[in-house]
Structure 1
Amino acid sequence: MTANVRASAPTGGWHAELTAHRDSRGEFVEWYRASRFTAETDVPFTVAQANMSISKRGVIRGVHYFADGSGQAKYVTCAHGEVLDVAVDLRIGSPTFGRWTVTPMSQDRPSAAYLPVGFGHAFVACSDRAVMLYLCDREYVPGAELTVHPLDADLALPWPTELPRILSERDDSAPTLREVRERGLLPRF
């Protein structure tokens, strides 16, 4: 998998390495503890919805975000397989607007990431099968989620070149970051 790449990490995101407790039965990973998260970020996080996605090798999901007050903060981890997880600061007026961070996540190297409201989220499945788990602070509002094209040349996300690139029709027809900014479809800092 590609090494941990960070392009001037966005302000407000958070990443933690997790501990896997392994024995002859398998392993156990505590992937979220409210007291630890709040102590390290000073952000209260209430879980309102939990999601799971299962993707095959080369699937790119995202860059998904919300432009209005219906946005979700997300806490994510890879429960099975391996992915490159991407957080992009899409908040107009943020000192780190347009910057991204890419974090390898896998069942073998457990970690978790927090993406505040206004961040775009994406990932690519690097294994034959990857399972991502999401905790969200708000319930999903149908029709409110927007997307930036994950292969936008100006955004220049470092997707692995050795993988196929499989996109949903929605993500493949998504506008670029420049286009959503010109249309006034980005959140404010």
Structure 2
Amino acid sequence: MKIEETPLKDCVLIHNTVFNDDRGYFFESFNAERFCNLTGKFVNFVQDNQSHSVRGVLRGIHFQKGEHAQSKLVRVIRGEVLDVAVDLRPASPTFGQYFSVILSDTSNTQLFVPRGFGHGFIVLSKEVNFFYKCDNFYNKASEGGLMYSDPELNIDWKMDASEILVSKKDEQNLSFSSYKESMGL
């Protein structure tokens, strides 16, 4: 396991060591002790989630507020996505900035998204199986979302807008400006 810093404070890529032979492959997708030693953070993951989506599906940009905020460790089991993390921590030097990376079943790279971040992804392959660990339980009353097409965030989703499939719920997400107002900023 190797850690690679991203431009966003506390958000890191994890590159796993994959052992291949004529039978297939093996890798350790998470080891709490190694993760803590390499990042300096102890994260107690308590919930695993998995989704299946088709090309063009955009899920996000989601976050949990307050005491229900979640860190996530995300990866792709099958297919390919553009994964996006947005720093929503007002005191952070990278507040309002985003980082994107292509995650795939062939790279076996994972992204650690700390508490206080928004997260989303768009499916670039025909289909994807997406998996993530959370360090806090989901709480419906604490969920929030930012509009994926917010002009202030200006996220390049690497896909023509006519191909993007968004849920009705995500179409109602806040603009970044409205989010800042709700935070008293």
Instruction: Report if TM-score (shorter chain) is over 0.5.
Output: yes
Q: Specify the SS of the correspondent of 2:99.
A: strand
1:51-62 correspondence to structure 2 within 5 Å: 51-62=49-60
CA contact (8 A) 1:67 1:185 kept: no
Within 5 A, what are the aligned runs for 1:87-102? Answer: 87-102=85-100
The code of the aligned residue for 2:91 comes to G
Q: Is the 8 A contact 1:10 1:100 kept in 2?
A: yes
| Distance of 1:9 and 1:100 partners within structure 2 | 9
More helix by share: 2
Of 90, 111, 114, the residue aligned with 2:112 is: 114
Map 1:154-165 to 2 at 5 A. 154-162=152-160, 164-165=163-164
**Contact 2:84 2:120 survives alignment (8 Å):** yes
Confirm or deny: 8 A CA contact 2:64 2:139 kept in the other structure.
Answer: no
Structure 1 length as normaliser, TM-score?
Answer: 0.89
| Percent identity over paired residues | 33
Q: How far apart are 1:40 and its partner, in Å?
A: 1.3
Question: In the alignment, is the contact (CA less than 8 A) between 1:31 and 1:111 conserved in 2?
Answer: no
The residue identity in structure 1 corresponding to 2:34 is R
> Aligned pair 1:40/2:33, yes or no?
no
Which one is further off, 23-32 or 50-59? 23-32
Structure 1 runs of 4+ off > 4 angstroms? none
User: 1:160-179 residue pairs with structure 2 within 5 A?
Assistant: 160-162=158-160, 164-179=163-178
What runs of 5+ residues in structure 2 fail to find an aligned partner?
none
Whole-Å Cα distance in 1 between the matches of residues 117 and 177 of structure 2?
Answer: 16
Determine helix, strand or coil for the equivalent of 1:69: helix
**CA deviation after TM superposition for structure 1 residue 103, in Å:** 1.1
Greater CA deviation, 173-182 or 159-168? Answer: 159-168
* Equivalent AA in structure 2 for residue 75 of structure 1: L
Determine the structure 1 residue equivalent to 2:183: 184
TM-score of the pair, normalised by structure 2: 0.91
User: How far 1:113 sits from its partner (Å)?
Assistant: 1.1
Given residue 146 of structure 2, which amino acid in structure 1 is its aligned partner? Answer: V
Q: CA deviation at 1:24?
A: 2.8
Tell me whether 43-52 or 20-29 shows the greater mean CA deviation. Answer: 20-29
> Alpha-carbon deviation of 1:162?
4.5
Measured after TM superposition, the shift of residue 143 of structure 1 is 2.4
Q: What amino acid sits opposite 1:166 in the alignment?
A: L
Paired position in structure 1 for 2:79: 81
Candidates 136, 150, 155, aligned match of 2:148: 150
- How far residue 173 of structure 1 moved from its aligned partner, in angstroms, is 1.6
